[in-house]
């Protein structure tokens, strides 16, 4: 039954969303919870990435390609704004107060462990909630979303957008909110199968609907052109704008078929930065032409595919606006997104409680500035809902923000809620077979993604008679997933032992690790790096293991950029993420059950 359902879904997406085949290139030879250890004394080698876009796209004039080369020379206040549709005009004419309209523009972030602030805000007219992570069952998450919607309904307000960062990257960890575990975006890029990706996200969308979640803050369309980017890494689909655009469209179409709202991020791209916007406001000095040639293409294609919203980034693109980050820039939001790119969907901010914003402005002041610049949904993070609401209302009443700007945002939000079916009674989602189909297709994508970088001494497949030591360095929360690698060896009859250490290796552990290696014939060494850098103690320990001279396979468990640290490794394989299916796929590739056919979605040099 499960295989039949997957087959039907595959055929459905192949017919409904035809994706061109990608060219097969030759292979080439996070989150903050771990950042302190990960970044300690790192010494990453220099590397470069090249990206490709269609020649006819490169040769377009900037204006034809949808971005003004002079966007920073004048402030735009939406002079090209279209007329309201009949449906939008009907919402504006409903007689709501200014406060009620502004409240619909605001979104707050909520810990599943304490929803009291969100319940109060929902009862006060809040428009949207972002659920943050916690180890809860699906049923518990469903109760949380139902309670929040009931608070809004009991006060006579429209249903909430309830969103989650379900993007397939390092912002997601296992057992979160009871949701099924997504492959990382870079894993999707390596598998390079748009039809399977669309099917996967259709099934993932059905899972979200079961919990009462109706919006995904995804896909992440950042082109990772900087190997030392500290925050994007495996959250990126890759360095190729064309492939990123195709996979991005597949994610959008899959979610759309499941009736999940999508928000593409982080416009106009977070892939080139050397700094983390959670910690400070980076500046990027690329020209409009450079941005257009690489970073904008996936967003343009997402807009054509009907993505519901675009999320702005807290980066100062000084050639576009010399003063304001994108989130607060009318030059970018009104000038580029609205006037030049002709996008009529929702514009949403990234979270305003990030230091990229709060280092310059208070959250309430930033919320007002974002509203004035053209943002429709303003993500406050853990900021004070009432304070932001009061600030925006005050600035409208003082004439600093046009009332028409509020009406425009409110109309877009309500029209989007209507399209999403939130303004009518919703039926309950329930489909056990869909869960089974999801797991099957996740396993398939994970196997497609496994990438063999090199095998100079023909270590693979590992001989059955070999005594194997699997030595993994990774955060403890991935330990359960890592067992799947061990199981694959065990069920195939290998004499295998698995050892698991944190990414920061302690001095007293070094002798234990070397003793374990000494007992084995073949070593499987798991290297873990989030994005920009690798923990120095882990790097030193891995180099010691490689110097033993034993037949070894170096596994890149998360970001493939860690492979730049180990040119001496004779055999190297990339997984792009420590999901359970990825670890199982690695075991099958190492033992010869499957052939690793993934392709690096980035270039390492």
**Residues pairing with 220 in the sheet:** 265
Superfamily of domain 450-590: Glycoside hydrolase family 3 C-terminal domain (3.40.50.1700)
Residue 385 half-sphere exposure toward CB, CA atoms < 13 A: 26
Range in 2-6, 55-59, 257-261, 456-460 the model is least confident about: 55-59
State if pTM tops 0.75. yes
Range in 142-151, 226-235, 532-541 the model is least confident about: 226-235
The model's confidence at residue 249, banded by pLDDT at 50, 70 and 90, is very high
In the predicted model, what is the mean pLDDT of residues 254-270? 95
458: left (phi over 0), alpha (psi -120 to 50) or beta: left
Indicate the average pLDDT of the chain: 84
**Residues pairing with 261 in the sheet:** 215
- Going by the DSSP 8-state scheme, the letter that residue 238 receives in this structure is B
In the predicted model, what is the mean pLDDT of residues 557-585? 96
Could you count the other beta carbons within 10 Å of the beta carbon of residue 6? Answer: 22
**Residues pairing with 161 in the sheet:** 128
Element counts in the chain: helices (H) and strands (E): 23, 16
Question: Is the pLDDT assigned to residue 380 strictly greater than 60?
Answer: yes
% of the chain residues with pLDDT over 90: 67
- Who's near 371: CB < 8 A, 6+ residues apart? 102, 105, 378, 392, 401, 405, 406, 409
In the predicted model, what is the mean pLDDT of residues 483-501? 98
SS (HEC) of 123-186: HCCCCEEEECCCCCCHHHHHHHHHHHHHHHHHCCCCCCEEEECCCCCCCCCCCCCCCCCCCCHH
Highest mean pLDDT of the ranges 89-93, 231-235, 254-258: 254-258
pLDDT in tens, 173-206: 545 678 888 899 999 999 999 999 999 999 999 9
Question: Is the pLDDT assigned to residue 112 strictly greater than 90?
Answer: no
SS (HEC) of 279-321: CCCCEECCCHHHHHHHCCHHHHHHHHCCCCEEEECCCEECCCC
The model's confidence at residue 14, banded by pLDDT at 50, 70 and 90, is very low
Q: What is the pLDDT of residue 73?
A: 40
* 79 compared with 568, residue with greater pLDDT: 568
Q: At what angle do helices 363-373 and 403-419 cross, to 10 degrees?
A: 80
Helix (H), strand (E) at residue 469: strand 467-473
Q: What is the pLDDT of residue 190?
A: 97
The model's confidence at residue 534, banded by pLDDT at 50, 70 and 90, is confident
Range in 117-131, 288-302, 432-446, 591-605 the model is least confident about: 432-446
Alpha carbon separation from 160 to 128, 170, 384, 589 (Å, rounded): 5, 26, 18, 45
pLDDT in tens, 516-530: 999 999 999 999 998
- Going by the DSSP 8-state scheme, the letter that residue 504 receives in this structure is S
Question: Is the pLDDT assigned to residue 463 strictly greater than 90?
Answer: yes
Between CA 192 and CA 29 the distance in angstroms is 19
Residues of CATH 3.20.20.300 domain(s) within the chain?
A: 2-29+62-419
The model's confidence at residue 55, banded by pLDDT at 50, 70 and 90, is very low
Highest mean pLDDT of the ranges 82-91, 162-171, 497-506: 497-506
pLDDT in tens, 18-34: 333 323 333 333 344 44
Sign of the Cα pseudo-torsion (246, 248, 249, 255, in order): positive
Could you count the other beta carbons within 10 Å of the beta carbon of residue 36? Answer: 10
- We find that the CATH architecture of domain 2-29+62-419 is Alpha-Beta Barrel (3.20)
**Residues pairing with 253 in the sheet:** none
The model's confidence at residue 166, banded by pLDDT at 50, 70 and 90, is confident
- Going by the DSSP 8-state scheme, the letter that residue 214 receives in this structure is -
Task: Look at strands 522-527 and 495-501 and give their pairing.
Answer: unpaired
Tokens describing residue 25: 């290139």
In the predicted model, what is the mean pLDDT of residues 366-373? 98
* 230 compared with 301, residue with greater pLDDT: 301
In the predicted model, what is the mean pLDDT of residues 437-452? 96
Range in 50-64, 210-224, 265-279, 417-431 the model is least confident about: 50-64
At residue 366, what are phi and psi to the nearest 5 degrees? -65, -35
**Residues pairing with 455 in the sheet:** 571
**Residues pairing with 264 in the sheet:** 310
Between CA 418 and CA 424 the distance in angstroms is 8
Q: Say if residues 503 and 475 touch (Cβ distance below 8 Å).
A: yes
The model's confidence at residue 81, banded by pLDDT at 50, 70 and 90, is low
pLDDT in tens, 35-54: 444 444 343 332 322 333 33
Alpha carbon separation from 180 to 143, 210, 234, 373, 592 (Å, rounded): 17, 12, 18, 37, 28
Q: At what angle do helices 432-449 and 580-590 cross, to 10 degrees?
A: 50
The model's confidence at residue 126, banded by pLDDT at 50, 70 and 90, is very high
Between CA 215 and CA 61 the distance in angstroms is 35
Between CA 324 and CA 304 the distance in angstroms is 27
Q: For residues 465, 455, 549 and 590, what is the CA-based torsion angle, rounded to 10 degrees?
A: -40
Tokens describing residue 598: 């993934």
Q: Which of 574, 594, 595 lies closest to 238 in space, CA to CA?
A: 574
Q: What is the pLDDT of residue 51?
A: 34
Q: At what angle do helices 194-211 and 2-16 cross, to 10 degrees?
A: 110
Q: Say if residues 53 and 294 touch (Cβ distance below 8 Å).
A: yes
Helix (H), strand (E) at residue 102: helix 98-104
Task: Look at strands 378-379 and 451-455 and give their pairing.
Answer: unpaired
At residue 327, what are phi and psi to the nearest 5 degrees? -60, -30
Between CA 520 and CA 551 the distance in angstroms is 10
**Before 485, cis peptide (omega within 30)?**
no
Between CA 317 and CA 273 the distance in angstroms is 10
Residues of CATH 3.40.50.1700 domain(s) within the chain?
A: 450-590
Question: Is the pLDDT assigned to residue 12 strictly greater than 60?
Answer: no
Q: What is the pLDDT of residue 34?
A: 47
In the predicted model, what is the mean pLDDT of residues 284-298? 89
Q: What is the pLDDT of residue 537?
A: 96
């Amino acid at each position: 039954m499960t295989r039949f359902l997957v087959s039907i879904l595959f055929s459905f997406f192949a017919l409904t969303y035809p994706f061109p085949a990608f060219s097969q290139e030759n292979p080439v030879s996070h989150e903050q919870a771990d950042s302190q250890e990960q970044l300690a004394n790192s010494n990453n080698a220099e590397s470069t990435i090249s990206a490709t876009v269609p020649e006819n796209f490169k040769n377009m004039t900037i204006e034809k390609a949808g971005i003004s080369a002079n966007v920073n020379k004048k402030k735009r206040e939406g002079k090209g704004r279209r007329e309201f549709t009949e449906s939008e005009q009907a919402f504006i004419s409903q007689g709501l107060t200014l406060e009620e309209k502004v409240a619909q523009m605001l979104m707050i972030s909520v810990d599943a462990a304490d929803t009291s602030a969100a319940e109060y805000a929902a009862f006060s007219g809040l428009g949207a909630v972002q659920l943050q992570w916690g180890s809860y069952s699906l049923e518990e998450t469903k109760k949380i979303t139902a309670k929040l919607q009931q608070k809004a309904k009991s006060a006579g307000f429209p249903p909430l957008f309830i969103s989650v960062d379900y993007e397939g990257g390092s912002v997601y960890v296992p057992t979160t909110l009871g949701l099924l575990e997504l492959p990382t975006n870079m894993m999707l890029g390596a598998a390079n199968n748009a039809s399977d990706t669309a099917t996967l996200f259709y099934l993932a969308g059905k899972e979200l609907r079961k919990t009462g979640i109706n919006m995904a803050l995804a896909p992440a369309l950042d082109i990772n052109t900087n190997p030392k980017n500290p925050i994007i890494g495996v959250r990126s689909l890759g360095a190729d704008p064309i492939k990123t655009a195709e996979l991005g469209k597949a994610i959008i179409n899959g979610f759309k078929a499941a009736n999940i709202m999508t928000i593409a991020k982080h416009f106009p791209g977070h892939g080139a930065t050397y700094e983390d916007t959670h910690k400070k406001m980076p500046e990027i000095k690329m020209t409009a032409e450079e941005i257009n040639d690489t970073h904008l293409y996936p967003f343009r294609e997402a807009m054509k595919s009907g993505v519901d919203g675009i999320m702005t980034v807290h980066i100062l693109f000084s050639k576009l606006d010399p003063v304001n980050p994108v989130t607060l820039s009318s030059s970018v939001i009104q000038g580029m997104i609205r006037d030049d790119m002709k996008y009529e969907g929702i514009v949403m901010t990234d979270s305003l409680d990030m230091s990229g914003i709060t280092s310059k402005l208070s959250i309430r002041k930033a919320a007002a500035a974002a509203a004035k610049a053209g943002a429709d949904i303003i993500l406050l993070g853990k900021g004070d809902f009432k304070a932001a609401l009061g600030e925006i209302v005050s600035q409208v009443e003082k004439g600093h923000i046009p009332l028409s700007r509020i009406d425009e945002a409110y109309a877009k939000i309500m029209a989007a809620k209507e399209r999403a079916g939130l303004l009518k009674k919703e039926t309950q989602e329930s489909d056990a077979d869909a869960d089974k189909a999801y797991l099957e297709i996740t396993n398939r994508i994970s196997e497609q993604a496994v990438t063999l970088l090199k095998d100079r001494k023909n270590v693979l497949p590992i001989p059955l008679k070999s005594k194997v030591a699997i030595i993994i360095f990774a955060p403890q929360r991935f330990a359960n997933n890592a067992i799947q690698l061990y199981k694959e060896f065990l069920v195939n009859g290998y004499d295998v032992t698995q050892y698991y250490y944190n990414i920061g290796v302690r001095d007293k552990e070094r002798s234990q690790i070397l003793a374990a290696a000494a007992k084995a014939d073949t070593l499987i060494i798991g290297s873990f790096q989030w994005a920009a850098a690798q923990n120095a103690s882990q790097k030193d320990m891995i180099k010691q293991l490689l110097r033993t001279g034993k037949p070894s396979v170096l596994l890149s468990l998360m970001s493939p950029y860690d492979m730049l640290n180990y040119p001496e490794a004779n055999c190297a394989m990339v997984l792009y993420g420590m999901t359970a299916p990825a670890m199982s796929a690695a075991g099958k590739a190492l033992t010869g059950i499957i052939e690793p056919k993934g392709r690096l979605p980035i270039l390492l040099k």
